[in-house]
Amino acid sequence: MGEPFRHNLRVRYGECDLQGVVFNAHYLAYFDTSLNELLRAAVGSYRAIHERGIDVVVAEAQLRFHAPARFEEELTLEIAVARLGTTGITTTHRIAREDELLVDGMLRHVMVDLKTLIKTPIPDWLRQQLEPWTVEPA
Amino acid sequence: MGEPFRHNLRVRYGECDLQGVVFNAHYLAYFDTSLNELLRAAVGSYRAIHERGIDVVVAEAQLRFHAPARFEEELTLEIAVARLGTTGITTTHRIAREDELLVDGMLRHVMVDLKTLIKTPIPDWLRQQLEPWTVEPA
Amino acid sequence: MGEPFRHNLRVRYGECDLQGVVFNAHYLAYFDTSLNELLRAAVGSYRAIHERGIDVVVAEAQLRFHAPARFEEELTLEIAVARLGTTGITTTHRIAREDELLVDGMLRHVMVDLKTLIKTPIPDWLRQQLEPWTVEPA
Amino acid sequence: MGEPFRHNLRVRYGECDLQGVVFNAHYLAYFDTSLNELLRAAVGSYRAIHERGIDVVVAEAQLRFHAPARFEEELTLEIAVARLGTTGITTTHRIAREDELLVDGMLRHVMVDLKTLIKTPIPDWLRQQLEPWTVEPA
């Protein structure tokens, strides 16, 4: 059983809105950053995925907003692989400020051929390299 | 029974990513734009909401990605009010290119006091003004 | 002698920052939108440029900020072609709210081969199609 | 004589465009991030500036694009204070990938009262705290 992959980022000025908090769409971009960081940790670089002729496209996203993040705060982003189907990758996400959960949610991606963008099975080498961060679905 | 509110936007260059399609987080920003346009249609301007001492904060978002939008395409954005609770506003969203559905999903907002950001009941005048775009939940 | 090309856009919520005004980097994205709209007006679509095997890359940008734009305001964007060199395209930009100038500046682009991204002369057909919006430099 | 302040950032997927490179407007947002990081280094946090009742607004920006940055690359951002007038702050910027200069430019800000946004002199304590990164103008 794996555990979530963690990385940090600091909220940028231009990501905050009139309410003084991170604009909601940026959290979805943060989730995307988590996936990229996870793939870099697993495979060395996102580029390495492309060099193997594959890519992922997003199929579904869910976000629940519990409390706002503010300018200059350092956030902890967690991502875990909750399900690896034949072609589908479900990741669960948590964004926290110290111990306070701010946003959680999920992304579902589909593995595709880099050129044709047609569905293709997740290769075994990738499954293995994602294992340290693959958890039982909640 | 109401029907969805519609508006259009053209995809900007800077919204498209390496895959040649709109980056996923921008669709959530598009949903937000739909809500703002709906409120402008209902009340005259978003500012008018603020002048009445209220605002909305997002609590939940769901998106399903069916097909990608590309640079320069004109999209049709639909939003409908699916549920008006005491303080909660659920809207459903569709983004299409001509007759092809690209993205759909929902947003749930909570009405808050503009100053304190504490939950406050949706005022009757706003319920009435949203009626033309209030539909039965699917 | 030509005159500036004009188009309008409404400021989006997510483009405004903590100060309640459009975040400065978005004005540079607005300038980019003006160039795209100009090319669409001149050639029919930006895609038509790509289909001819050429593209532009930005080499220089200057912006002067005179007054802020705010959420929900409708802005008028002007762009004019101030200089067409062998490979260089200089455009001047103005962003106004009614008669009030908010931001002005310039962009300098270089025409490149779409595939190699190597400099290539601006084709005559494009010079001709840009003529209605080509002005004497200030 | 001071020297530039340096920090790093990794290019995010959503910041890259159809050409496979960072979209130009994001470099202006990167410059802004450099200023914020500089102020944090100088004063402890940007918030500390606000708590003293002051803020900065941007008056001018210049960018020269020498070579593109790509997805996943780690960039080094440099900022130096080139001039401190009565109310004006001119900073010079460089963005590099290892030893290769990608983008350089300048920002000119004006110090303002946080509430009224009216020009106010740069306080002496801030001048002193910016000294380590204040250089002779080029």
Q: Token pair 């405004």 is at which residue?
A: C16
Specify the pLDDT at position C47. Answer: 85
- pLDDT digits 0-9 by tens, B21-79: 999 999 999 999 999 999 999 999 888 999 999 999 999 999 999 999 999 999 999 99
| CB atoms closer than 10 angstroms to residue C10 | 15
Q: Is the predicted pLDDT of residue A138 greater than 70, yes or no?
A: no
CB-CB under 8 Å, D55 with C19? yes
Specify the pLDDT at position A91. Answer: 98
Q: Mean pLDDT across the stretch A85-106? A: 97
**Spatial distance between the Cα atoms of B104 and B108, rounded to a whole number of angstroms:** 14
- pLDDT digits 0-9 by tens, D57-105: 999 999 999 999 999 999 999 999 999 999 999 999 999 999 999 999 9
Which chains have 3+ CB pairs within 8 A of D?
A, B, C
CB-CB under 8 Å, D13 with B25? no
Residues of chain C with pLDDT under 50: none
**Spatial distance between the Cα atoms of C41 and C49, rounded to a whole number of angstroms:** 12
C124 min Cα distance to partner chain A (Å): 34
Which residues touch B30 (CB under 8 Å, ≥6 apart)? B9, B75, B77, B95, B103
Residues of D in contact with B16 (CB under 8 A): 17-18
Q: Is the predicted pLDDT of residue B136 greater than 90, yes or no?
A: no
Specify the pLDDT at position A137. Answer: 62
Give me the residue from A32, A55, A60 closest to B65, CB to CB.
Answer: A60
Which of C11, C13, C49 is the best residue to mutate to test the B interface, defined by the most B CB atoms within 10 Å of its own CB? C13
Specify the pLDDT at position C38. Answer: 97
In chain C, whose CA is at the least distance from the CA of D63?
C61
Q: Are A103 and A27 in contact (CB under 8 A)?
A: yes
In chain D, whose CA is at the least distance from the CA of B70?
D18
Give me the residue from D14, D32, D36 closest to A32, CB to CB.
Answer: D14
Secondary structure E strands in A12-129? 54-65, 74-84, 88-97, 100-113
Q: Is the predicted pLDDT of residue A136 greater than 90, yes or no?
A: no
The two tokens of residue C78 are: 């002007």
Query: With the CA atoms of B98, B101, B103 and B108 taken in that order, what torsion angle do they form, in degrees rounded to the nearest 10?
Result: 100
Which chains have 3+ CB pairs within 8 A of B?
A, C, D
| Contacts across the C-D interface (CB distance below 8 Å) | 62
C60 min Cα distance to partner chain B (Å): 17
Residues of A in contact with D45 (CB under 8 A): 72
Specify the pLDDT at position D1. Answer: 78
CA angle A60, A63, A65 (to 5 degrees): 170
C10 min Cα distance to partner chain A (Å): 16
Give me the residue from C25, C60, C64 closest to D28, CB to CB.
Answer: C25
CB-CB under 8 Å, B62 with A62? yes
Q: Is the predicted pLDDT of residue B103 greater than 70, yes or no?
A: yes
**Spatial distance between the Cα atoms of D84 and D86, rounded to a whole number of angstroms:** 7
Which of D15, D21, D28 is the best residue to mutate to test the C interface, defined by the most C CB atoms within 10 Å of its own CB? D28
CA angle A49, A51, A57 (to 5 degrees): 45
Give me the residue from B19, B28, B55 closest to A28, CB to CB.
Answer: B28
Strand D54-65 relative to strand C100-113, pairing: unpaired
Q: Is the predicted pLDDT of residue A68 greater than 80, yes or no?
A: yes
Distance of CA C76 to the CA centre of its chain: 12
- pLDDT digits 0-9 by tens, B79-102: 999 999 999 999 999 999 999 999
- CATH superfamily, region A5-133: Hotdog Thioesterase (3.10.129.10)
> In angstroms, what CA-CA distances link A32 with A52, A132, B58, B92?
20, 19, 19, 23
Single out the residue of D38, D90, D81 nearest to residue D60, CA to CA: D90
Specify the pLDDT at position C137. Answer: 61
- Please report how many Cα atoms fall inside a 13 Å half-sphere around the Cα of residue D4, on the Cβ side: 16
B38 min Cα distance to partner chain C (Å): 12
CB-CB under 8 Å, B45 with C32? no
Specify the pLDDT at position D137. Answer: 61
Give me the residue from D29, D47, D71 closest to A72, CB to CB.
Answer: D47
pTM for the whole thing?
A: 0.96
Kindly list the strands in the beta sheet with B100-113, ordered across the sheet, starting from the edge strand earlier in the chain: A5-10, A74-84, A88-97, A100-113, A54-65, B54-65, B100-113, B88-97, B74-84, B5-10
Residue type, B49: I
ipTM: 0.95
pLDDT tier at D121, thresholds 50, 70, 90 = very high
Specify the pLDDT at position C46. Answer: 86
Which position has the higher pLDDT, D12 or D45? Answer: D12
CB-CB under 8 Å, B32 with A25? yes
CB-CB under 8 Å, C14 with A18? no
